[in-house]
Every structure is written in C-alpha cells, then in structure tokens.
C-alpha cells in the first residue's frame, strides 16, 4: 500500500464523527447525502463494516415519505449556514436527527451495490440483513423521486433548488435562478467565506436566492405537492436523472441477488421510464445531454459536466460515442487536469469558482465510469490518470483549477480521498 493510499484512509478517519463522515472539518460539519455515498465506496476498499455504517447513519435522517435529505444534522455546529433552525423541517421527520428539507443526487443505490459486491467477494454472508435494510431505504427514496419529482411523467426528475443538484452555482442554473427573488426574511450569515476565499465561492446574490428558495418551501411546510406548485425554480436535471437511472439499475442487480421479484419488476419499470426520458435529452449540435427548465420550457444549453453524466446510465450509439469523445477532448485541450465543470471556451468559465470551471474528483469518477461503460476505455484511462496525478500533486482538496492543477476549496476532503481509493482500487 502506498503512502498516499494511507493518507486517503487517514482523511476518512480524521473526518469520522462516529459512524458517519463530514465532507471536511469546519466548512461542512454535518453528514451530506451524496458525499457519504461516495465515501462509503471509499471505505469499502478497506473496511466493509464501516462502509455499511456510513449508509446506515445516513438513513437515520430519511423522511417518513422516503426522501433522503441533503444534510443530516447529527450534532449541533455553528460553523455552517443555514443550520437546522433555518430549515425548520421537524414535522416532516418524526425521529431525530434534524435534517435539511431538500435532497441530493441518489448515489446511494450505486454505493450499496458497490459495497455489497465487495462484501460478497470477501465471503461476507453476514451483510445480508444490512443490505436488505439499506436496499428498502433506497427503494423508498426512488419511489419518492418518481412520485414527487416527476409528477408530470416526463421520465426526468426535477430539482427545486440548486443545492439539490450538488453543483450549486453551475452556469446551468443561471437563467432559472435569475427569476428567483433575492429578498429574504432570514438574515444571511455566511460561514463558508470564513473558511475559504470568497473568490472561489458562489456570489452573495446566489446565496440570497438559495435562502429565498428555502423560505418558499418552508412556508409550504415542506409538503412536496405544495412545493411543486409554488417552486420559482424547477429544472428537470439530466445529471440527477442519470444518477437515479444508474442507481435504479444497481438496485435491480441487488434485488436479483436477494431474489426480490416484485421489487425487480417495479424497479425495471422505473428504469425504462428514466432511460426513455434521458434519451430524449441528447442534442447532436451540442454533443451532450441537456437539462430542461420546467418554468420557461427551454433547454438549458450551458456546457457543463452534466452533458456527460448520462453515460453512467445509457448505452450511446456509435455517432454519440464519437461525438462525446471529441467533445470531452475539446474541453480538456490545454488543461493540466480535466474534465472542467464548465467548458473552458464558454464565457461563463471561471477556473477557480466552485462549479463554474474547477475539476471535481467525484465527477471525474462518474465520467470515467460512464466512458468505460460506453467502450471508451482509453479516454477513461487518461482522465483517471489525470485525476490521480492531480490529487498526488495537490493533495485531497475539494476541487482543482483545471488550468494550473492547483488544489482549491476545503482541505482534507472526504470524497476526494474516497475517489482516490476507488480509482486506485
Ligand atoms: C453546501 C459538501 C457539499 C457537496 C456539494 C457542494 C457543496 C455546499 O458541498 O455544497 O452548502 O451544501 O456543492 O455538492 O455535497 O461537500
């Protein structure tokens, strides 16, 4: 085992708060949904029990209606805004701990399959009951997605808040977010810029709109039907839909192993619906998949990493495969590390500002996986190698400047450590 693998494991241990992992100390002091799913896969490379525990602690926050919240506030902390009082979700979730009121990409099902497969190769028959329990939690959350976030049956699931996407200030949301008011009743006490330079973070107006949206949904008492009608921001997101579709395929795999026939049928129907929805979002002229703004009815054409995420769920045809390969190569041309989260030739590109250009190791992990699934192994190997090199050069930071390779954002980041462990596995 290399020293760097040791260091990655040490970061997960350092960020462990008792069976769950914070994304990084101070900046993000709670349990985040998709971070934990990625982290559980990192743990699975060396500690299966701890991998299961990460997901078990996450579902402590699952709502009665199946939603898996984006943050679980296991213990109080004043280093993050907005905390539990701003969300005020207590009545939607009748057990402790308190949570935020929105969700995040459902990587959970992908993680469960990944860790279960490793457990099986290690001959760990004892994980069966744990797998079954987590499987049912995931299934409830997939039902929630389909019922609550695709009520108009497009085969695409919608986000009602940019934080749900996991790509908070992506240029993809600019037009839709501009319609949201900047007026808030809550005083905005940003903590993030105390930990990280403001030049790398979302702008103040973004935060005002993020909090305005929280207030709109809080006034709906977090009732999903009321939220759907009241939402001033509503985007059918291809990245979210692709992750849900892939996680659904992974749950089908688990259900087959567990011999759960009704669940296989139910999940297969969901899978078919989502793949049909995704296929309709491909655009030849853009050489990628585009989200749909449900309020304006328009395609969101901004070139972001989301263009390529559907590869984790979909089998491309030959034309699409060549187009995606050319497009990713174009985006990476001249970069020390690709794939940038916004195309470098776009006028929105900013190499250091969060989701407007920087490279994220977990996004590369998804892209590598999607390229391999689509028989583009050579390009996948290049991106994988670049990601590993970037981490080895700059450390386990939150994200990387694609032009210089510089490490940015929070340090000792859990999901960057997890990405390293999995890509090296
Ligand atoms: C926030 C924790 C989270 C990630 C998101 C990323 C950022 C900020 O940090 O969100 O306040 O929630 O955009 O993807 O889960 O690492």
Q: How far is CA 10 from CA 3, 4, 5, 56, 390, in A?
A: 10, 9, 9, 21, 19
Give the residue, by CA position, lying nearest to ligand 1 atom 7. 166
Taking the centre of ligand 1 as the mean of its atom positions, its distance from the CA of residue 106, in whole angstroms, is 14
pLDDT of residue 2: 87
- Residue 91 pLDDT > 80, yes or no? no
Does residue 290 form part of some domain? yes
CA dist 161 and 142 (Å) reads 18
Residue that the structure tokens 């692709």 belong to = 242
**Could you tell me which residues come within 8 angstroms of residue 327 by beta carbon, excluding any fewer than 6 positions away?**
287, 288, 307, 308
The reply to whether 144 falls in a domain is yes
The rounded Å distance from CA 250 to ligand 1 centre is 24
The answer to whether position 126 is within a domain reads: yes
| φ/ψ (deg, to 5) at 343 | -60, 135
Per-residue pLDDT, 31: 98
DSSP three-state, residue 293: strand
pLDDT given at position 192: 83
Ligand 1 centroid to residue 166 C-alpha, Å: 6
Q: Are 228 and 146 in contact (CB under 8 A)?
A: no
Res. 401: pLDDT tops 70: yes
In this predicted structure, the answer to whether residue 85 has a pLDDT above a threshold of 90 is yes
Dihedral of CA 19/24/30/36: which sign?
negative
334-371: per-residue pLDDT in tens? 999 999 999 999 999 999 999 999 999 999 999 999 99
Q: What is the mean pLDDT of residues 13-33?
A: 96
pLDDT at position 95: 66
Q: Which atom of ligand 1 is nearest to the CA of 33?
A: 15
Lowest mean pLDDT among 52-61, 72-81, 390-399: 72-81
Axis-axis angle for helices 33-44, 48-58 (nearest 10): 170
Measured in degrees and rounded to the nearest 5, phi and psi for residue 98 equal -75, 160
Q: Is residue 408 part of a domain?
A: no
Q: Which residues are catalytic?
A: 168, 398
| Sheet containing strand 71-73, strands side by side | 31-32, 71-73, 98-99
Q: Which domain holds residue 140?
A: 3-307
pLDDT at 94: 66
Share of the chain above pLDDT 90, in %: 92
- The alpha carbon torsion through 75, 167, 353, 232 (nearest 10 deg) reads -100
- The mean per-residue pLDDT over the stretch 236-247 comes to 99
Tell me, in angstroms, the distance from the centre of ligand 1 to residue 150's CA.
Answer: 24
In percent, how much of the chain has pLDDT > 70?
99
Distance CA(364)–CA(332), nearest Å, equals 12
- How high is the pLDDT of residue 381? 98
Which H or E run contains 323? helix 318-332
- Give SS3 for 399: strand
Task: Judge if the beta carbon of residue 207 lies within 6 A of ligand 1.
Answer: no
What residue's CA is closest to ligand 1, atom 1?
163
Task: Give the per-residue pLDDT at 199.
Answer: 83
CA separation for the pair 307, 310 (Å, rounded): 7
- What is the maximum alpha-carbon separation in the chain? 56
Using a 6 Å cutoff on CB, does residue 23 contact ligand 1?
A: yes
- Ligand 1 pocket, residue 166 CB under 6 Å: yes
Q: Is residue 89 part of a domain?
A: yes
48 within domain boundaries: yes
* 410, part of any domain: no
| Strand 31-32 relative to strand 71-73, pairing | antiparallel
Output the CA angle 305-39-117, nearest 5 degrees: 100
pLDDT, position 389: 97
CB of 28 shorter than 6 A to ligand 1: yes
pLDDT tens, 293-305?
999 999 999 999 9
Domain count, the chain: 1
pLDDT digits (tens, 9 = 90+) for 128-177: 999 999 999 999 999 999 999 999 999 999 999 999 999 999 999 999 99
**Which ipTM score applies to this complex?**
0.98
- Please give the pLDDT value at position 196: 81
Q: What is the pLDDT of residue 304?
A: 98
The pLDDT value given to residue 93: 67
Q: Measured from the CB, is residue 56 less than 6 Å from ligand 1? A: no
Mean confidence (pLDDT) of the chain: 96
Q: Is 109 inside any structural domain?
A: yes
Backbone angle region of 157, left / alpha / beta, with phi > 0 → left and psi within -120 to 50 → alpha: beta
| CATH number of the domain encompassing residue 97 | 1.50.10.10
């Amino acid at each position: 085992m290399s020293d760097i693998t040791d260091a990655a494991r040490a970061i997960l241990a350092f960020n462990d708060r008792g069976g769950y992992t914070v994304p990084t100390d101070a900046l993000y002091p709670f349990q985040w949904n998709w971070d934990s799913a990625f982290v559980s896969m990192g743990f699975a490379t060396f500690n299966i029990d701890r991998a299961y525990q990460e997901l078990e602690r996450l579902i402590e926050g699952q709502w009665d209606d199946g939603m898996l919240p984006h943050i679980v506030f296991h213990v109080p902390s004043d280093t993050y805004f907005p905390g539990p009082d701003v969300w005020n979700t207590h009545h939607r979730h009748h057990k402790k701990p308190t949570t935020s009121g929105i969700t995040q990409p459902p990587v959970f099902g992908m993680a469960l399959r990944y860790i279960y497969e490793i457990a099986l190769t290690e001959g760990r028959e004892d994980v069966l009951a744990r797998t079954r329990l987590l499987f049912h939690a995931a299934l409830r959350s997939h039902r929630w997605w389909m019922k609550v976030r695709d009520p108009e049956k497009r085969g695409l699931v919608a986000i009602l808040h940019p934080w749900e996407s996991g790509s908070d200030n992506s240029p993809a949301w600019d037009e839709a977010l501009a319609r949201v008011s900047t007026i808030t009743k809550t005083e905005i006490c940003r903590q993030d810029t105390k930990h990280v330079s403001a030049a790398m973070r979302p702008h103040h107006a973004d935060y005002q709109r993020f909090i305005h949206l929280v207030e709109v949904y809080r006034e709906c008492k977090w009732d999903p039907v009321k939220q759907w009608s009241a939402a001033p921001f509503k985007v059918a997101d291809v990245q979210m839909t692709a992750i849900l579709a892939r996680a659904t395929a992974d749950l089908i795999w688990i259900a087959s192993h567990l011999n759960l026939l009704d669940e296989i049928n139910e999940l297969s129907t969901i899978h078919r619906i989502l793949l049909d929805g995704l296929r309709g979002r491909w655009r030849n002229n853009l050489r990628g998949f585009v989200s749909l703004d449900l309020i304006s009815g328009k395609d969101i054409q901004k070139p972001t990493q989301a263009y390529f995420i559907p590869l984790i769920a979909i089998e491309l045809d030959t034309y699409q495969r060549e187009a995606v390969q050319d497009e990713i190569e174009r985006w990476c041309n001249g970069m020390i590390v690709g794939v940038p989260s916004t195309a470098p030739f776009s006028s929105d590109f900013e190499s250091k500002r969060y989701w407007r250009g920087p490279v994220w190791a977990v996004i590369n992990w998804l892209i590598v996986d999607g390229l391999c699934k689509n028989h583009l192994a050579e390009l996948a190997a290049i991106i994988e190698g670049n990601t590993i090199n970037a981490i080895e050069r700059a450390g386990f930071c939150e994200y990387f400047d694609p032009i210089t390779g510089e490490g940015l954002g929070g340090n000792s980041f859990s999901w960057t450590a997890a990405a390293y462990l999995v890509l090296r596995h």
